Amino acid sequence: MQKSTIINENILWKSPVPYVLNNDLDINSKGVILRAFDQFRLKSCIDFKPRDSEDDYISVKQLDGCWSYIGQVISNGQELSIGRGCGSIAIVEHEFLHALGFYHEQSRYDRNDYVTIQYENILEDKKNNFRIVGSNESTTHGVPYDYLSVMHYAKDAFTNGNGSTIITKDPNFQNLIGQRLEMSASDVQELNLLYKCNTSIAFKMYCGFTNGTMCQMNRCSKSGNGWEMVTGVYGGPSSDHTNLPNGNGNQGQDAGYFMYASTESVQEGDSAWLETKRMSPQRECHVQCLQFYYYHNGSKSDELNIWIREFQDERDSTGTLYLMGQITGPPTSHWTLHHVPLNATKQFQVEFEVRKGAGNSTGGFSIDDINLSELECPDGTWQINNFERLLNTTDTPALIYSPRQYSSEGYAYRVALNPRQTDFGVYVQLVSGVYDDQLKWPCPQRQFTVQMVDQNPNIQLQMSRQISITTDPNLLYNGMFTETCNP
Question: How far is 362 from 347, CA to CA, in rounded Å?
Answer: 37
Do residues 394 and 327 lie in contact, with contact meaning Cβ atoms separated by under 8 Å?
no
SS3 79: strand
98 is in an annotated binding site: yes
Residues 6 or more apart whose CB falls under 8 angstroms from that of 248 comprise none
CA dihedral 111, 116, 121, 127 (to 10 degrees): 20
- 296 annotated among ligand-binding-site residues: no
- Asked whether the beta carbons of 47 and 104 are under 8 A apart, the reply is no
For strands 364-373 and 203-207, give the pairing.
antiparallel
DSSP state of 41: H
User: Residues 337, 383: contact at Cβ < 8 Å?
Assistant: yes
- On whether 152 is known to bind a ligand per the annotation, the reply is no
Q: Looking at the DSSP assignment, which residues form a beta bridge with residue 371?
A: 206, 291
Residues in the chain: 487
| Dist CA 179 CA 372 (whole Å) | 27
- DSSP-derived 3-state class of residue 311: coil
C-alpha–C-alpha distance, residues 430 and 410, integer Å = 11
User: Catalytic residue numbers?
Assistant: 95
Asked whether 293 and 368 are in contact (CB, 8 A), the reply is: yes
Among the listed residues 305, 306, 312, the one whose alpha carbon sits nearest the alpha carbon of residue 278:
312
Helix, strand, coil shares, percent, the chain, to 5: 15, 30, 55
168 close to 147: Cβ distance less than 8 angstroms: yes
CA distance 471 to 407: 14
| Cα–chain center distance at 311 | 29
Interior CA angle at 89 toward 84 and 93, to 5°? 100
- CA dist., res. 357 & res. 266, Å (int): 10
d(CA 81, CA 132): 24
Please spell the DSSP secondary structure of 342-409, one letter per residue: E---SSEEEEEEEE--SS--S-EEEEEEEEEESSPPPS-----TTHHHHHT-TT--S-EEPPPEE-TT
Q: Which residues are annotated as a binding site for Zn(2+)?
A: 94, 98, 104
Q: Which residues are annotated as a binding site?
A: 94, 98, 104
